[in-house]
Amino acid sequence: MLDLPISLDEMQLRYYPDPVLRHPAESIPLTELGPHIASLADWMIDIMVQNSGIGLAAPQIGLPLRIVVISLTGKKQDAEVFVNPEISNFQGMSEVEEGCLSLPGIRAKVRRPAACTVTAMDLDGNTYVTDAVDLAATVIQHETDHLNGTLFIDRISSVSRLACRKTIKQLEKDFSSGQGQ
């Protein structure tokens, strides 16, 4: 069995520089899919929607598992769940301004492939393959990065980094004081 916290309430949004955001996440075995992973996905969708996000990865609520939820409209009814997503077949290049629920107050342009193919499982364990373009491609790449411990600020230009420097420093300060350091 996967080691899930007893109560979903314990799983709240984690902010940079929480070390959990840097841990590579583990795949979810097919045999583990069931009501508890479905509840987890539902919880993640609620947190995403409540915070006006369009994507959320499990490490962002402190759980190093390969599960991602996305809703391009930000609405619960449009949310999709991707278990163990793999992205491939990258095409083109685009530069889109991104933000992240774990990095409040920071927005910066990120260059990424404009299209990709996503292979993932749904909550019933069915493998499906879908093509993602434009915003969908940006979001799935951003969320898959989270599963590998990568944040969008790792991918921004040095000029953008300089522009965000103060906010990043403030987040680091807030995290340290939250840790009682």
Binding stretches for Ni ion (CB under 5 A): 100
Cα–Cα distance, 113 to 168 (Å, whole number): 26
Give 125 or 150: the residue with its C-beta nearer to Ni ion.
150
Among 80, 97, 98, 143, the one annotated catalytic: 143
Q: Which two tokens stand for residue 104?
A: 């409040």
Using Cβ positions, the residue closest to Ni ion within the complex turns out to be 100
Closest distance to Ni ion from the beta carbon of 142 (Å): 6
Closest distance to Ni ion from the beta carbon of 26 (Å): 19
Question: To the nearest 10°, the Cα dihedral for 78, 84, 89, 95?
Answer: 60
Closest CA to 116 of 130, 98, 95, 127: 130
Give 14 or 40: the residue with its C-beta nearer to Ni ion.
14
Closest distance to Ni ion from the beta carbon of 77 (Å): 22
Closest distance to Ni ion from the beta carbon of 101 (Å): 6
143 catalytic, yes or no?
Answer: yes
Give 100 or 132: the residue with its C-beta nearer to Ni ion.
100
Classify burial at 77, counting beta carbons within 10 Å of its beta carbon; exposed 0-12, middle 13-18, buried 19 or more: exposed
Q: Which two tokens stand for residue 47?
A: 């947190």
Q: What is the chain's length? A: 181
Q: Catalytic positions, please?
A: 143
